[in-house]
Chains A and B, each alone.
Chain A
Amino acid sequence: MMAGGSRAGDPRERRPWPFYALATLMTVFLVFLYGPMVVIYLLSFQGPDGGVTFPMVGTSTYWFAEILKPGQMANIPVAFGRSIALASIVSLVTVLVTVSAGLGFRRRFPGSGALFYLAVASLVMPSLLVGFGIGLGFKLFDWTPDLFTSALAAQLTWTLPFGLFAMFAVFNRFNRAYEEAATDLGASAWQRLRWVTLPILMPGIIGVGMGAFTLSYDEYARTTLVAGNRNTLPLEIYALISSSTSPTLFAIGTLTTAVSFLVICTTLAVILRMQRRRAARARPA
């Protein structure tokens, strides 16, 4: 992989002043990033009589329990399940399609420029308009929009370009000498892909999958016009915001952050283990 430690030079060297300036900026940024988040984490433990602002009226897990009561205001657990299912499909499709496209883009082929700009256009398209276009198309053909058809498609127009560009970054770091070595040793194209290219790229591929998962899981503007009558979690949250203001929203925020955290930690653990195993195998016995 990348040469990590060498970049910054001798560790005993004295830090130049920009280091301290930038470290301060970084700290300020992190405080800015986490300040409001911490506020909602705190407020989600608001007592049953408390409101959406300080002061705290005791502490409780009342608002978390409120989420789980079905039918109360919105069915959060069901919507959460749908979001996870949709995000898993989006993530899987994104990985398969972008790995394949990333391989294809390593050669120049007629039409590669057009396809590249199509992906850029799809990425920068204002999100609500994608849903609008797909919704109109479905209306024209008299199809019913649904979570796993039109909403899935709308989300893919966003995760695929994102995944593709991330794949370019992954492939850029890949040293093709490994593939040439495999070919020289008699590997077929398939063997080369299966045993050399993919394993080396795997951490990057997992990263792309995770990225696509979260992009889909949080997606609101693309999905809202084409989700049919089954809502995803962000759509439910949006409906909640317009109908009521209670710390339930913050409890949902705390809970989703916890879930995301769990997903990230698991993924990182998997990547780390993979790298460690590879390092162990590479070491001469």
Chain B
Amino acid sequence: MDAGQDAVSIAPRSRGRRRWRLSAQAVSWLQVSPLAIILITFFALPTLIFLVVSFYDYDRVGIYPDFLLDNYREILTSPATLRVYLSSLQFAFIVWAITLFLGFNIAYFLVFHVRSRMMRTVLFLACAIPFWTSGIIRTIAWIPFLGRNGAFNQMLQGVHLIDRPLDFLLFSPFAVCVTYIHLFTLLMIGPIANSLAKIDPALLEAARDAGASRWRTMVDIVIPLSKTGIALGSILVFTQVMGDFFVVKAMSGGQSASIVSQLATEIQAMQYPPAAASAMILVLFVAIMVGGMMRVVDVRKELVR
């Protein structure tokens, strides 16, 4: 090999190129700039706009630049706000607990128990495929299933478990929870499976060899190592429920409204300033909750390496 000559012939070229070379940081900036520009223009700016509009004055004809706190005062002093926030939080908490239980166990099963890679892919896809059907259709799919004469009631009556159809199944808080779980469990499975897959199986073997019980291995090794996935899944499920607009409307039978569906009514009535103010409150609320979760788990450190 004539390595020396190669080096000589390459060296001047690379030196010539160095003049054009950007610093590593500049390259990174260029690479992330499309993302930054899109997010700033279409996310940060619009948010700023409705922050500004939330202080505006309005009447039936239009909105007028002003600096009023009335919009906020009205929302914060109305008992309806408290009620709708409490009911949304209640839904969020129940749905979070159940999807976390389901998501964690299913992800654990897929990653650690299923032996063939083919089988794992097939099962994972089986969980993911309903996600590819419109959420609206998946929501109304529960109506013929849970209704008075629905498939579920007929099944229960068929095996003589009950003799009258159950009424609480449809158009009730129960139906809302079931639909949420149906819609959002995958958001838990995905991130958790991703962090479980990064755990070195040798660690689990080492724990077993050292005499740790299944429970201890789970509590001291698996759960700490998968907490990024758990946090990410929780954030996704929580924000989806808080931002929901359709499910409560379609499945609760008019017994309760969601925060966003109330907001949508105001938007349709062109009452932009109060809508913007209640949007701002919701955004702050979600931001504080998510911020809290991200304090517990440093999602960024785990994701960006």
Which residues of A approach B to under 8 Å, CB–CB? Answer: 2, 4-9, 11, 15-16, 18-19, 22-23, 25-26, 29-30, 32-37, 39-40, 43, 52-54, 96-98, 100-101, 103-107, 109-113, 115-130, 132-134, 136-137, 140, 153-154, 156-157, 160-161, 164-165, 168-169, 172, 186, 214, 218, 220-221, 225, 233-234, 237-238, 241, 249-250, 252-253, 256-257, 260-261, 263-264, 268
A122–B43 contact, CB under 8 A? yes
18 additional A-B residue pairs with CB within 8 Å, beyond A37-B133, A129-B50, A129-B282: A25-B105, A36-B182, A37-B130, A39-B144, A98-B35, A101-B31, A112-B32, A121-B287, A123-B236, A126-B283, A129-B47, A130-B46, A132-B46, A132-B267, A134-B46, A136-B46, A157-B43, A164-B35
A23–B109 contact, CB under 8 A? yes
A136–B43 contact, CB under 8 A? no
Contacts of A132 in B (CB 8 A): 46, 50, 263, 267, 275-276, 279
A30–B141 contact, CB under 8 A? no
Q: Which of B29, B43, B137, B299 is close to A109, meaning CB atoms less than 8 Å apart?
A: B29
The chain B residue with its CB closest to the CB of A83 is B134
A118–B31 contact, CB under 8 A? no
How far apart are B14's CB and chain A's nearest CB, in angstroms?
9
A241–B136 contact, CB under 8 A? yes
Interface of A is mostly: helix
| B303 within 8 A of partner (CB) | yes
Q: Which of B39, B276, B286 is close to A136, meaning CB atoms less than 8 Å apart?
A: B276
Q: Mark B108-146, 1 if CB is under 8 A from A, else 0.
A: 111111111100100101110111111111101111110
Q: Which of B31, B39, B112 is close to A104, meaning CB atoms less than 8 Å apart?
A: B31
How far apart are B187's CB and chain A's nearest CB, in angstroms?
10
State whether A241 and B140 are in contact (beta carbons under 8 Å apart), knowing that A101-B34, A214-B131, A221-B245 are contacts in the complex: yes
The number of A-B residue pairs with CB atoms under 8 Å apart is 289
Contacts of B112 in A (CB 8 A): 7-8
Q: Which of B35, B115, B250 is close to A8, meaning CB atoms less than 8 Å apart?
A: B115
Instruction: Report the Cα distance A159→B8, complex, angstroms.
Output: 48
B123–A107 contact, CB under 8 A? no
Instruction: Report the Cα distance A41→B296, complex, angstroms.
Output: 43
CB proximity to A under 8 Å, residues B129-171:
129-138, 140-145, 147, 149-151, 154
B275–A37 contact, CB under 8 A? no
B290–A37 contact, CB under 8 A? no
Q: How many residues of B are counted as interface, with CB atoms below 8 angstroms from the partner's CB atoms?
A: 100
Contacts of B140 in A (CB 8 A): 40, 241, 249
How far apart are B260's CB and chain A's nearest CB, in angstroms?
5
| B19 within 8 A of partner (CB) | no
Q: Which of B106, B150, B250, B304 is close to A53, meaning CB atoms less than 8 Å apart?
A: B150
Contacts of B126 in A (CB 8 A): 30, 33
Instruction: Report the Cα distance A32→B41, complex, angstroms.
Output: 41
A220–B137 contact, CB under 8 A? no
Contacts of B142 in A (CB 8 A): 36
| B185 within 8 A of partner (CB) | yes
CB proximity to A under 8 Å, residues B76-102:
102
How far apart are A166's CB and chain B's nearest CB, in angstroms?
9
B129–A54 contact, CB under 8 A? no
B239–A140 contact, CB under 8 A? no
State whether A237 and B137 are in contact (beta carbons under 8 Å apart), knowing that A104-B27, A109-B25, A118-B43 are contacts in the complex: yes
How far apart are B138's CB and chain A's nearest CB, in angstroms?
7
Contacts of B69 in A (CB 8 A): none
How far apart are B136's CB and chain A's nearest CB, in angstroms?
5
Instruction: Report the Cα distance A130→B28, complex, angstroms.
Output: 28
Instruction: Report the Cα distance A168→B299, complex, angstroms.
Output: 12
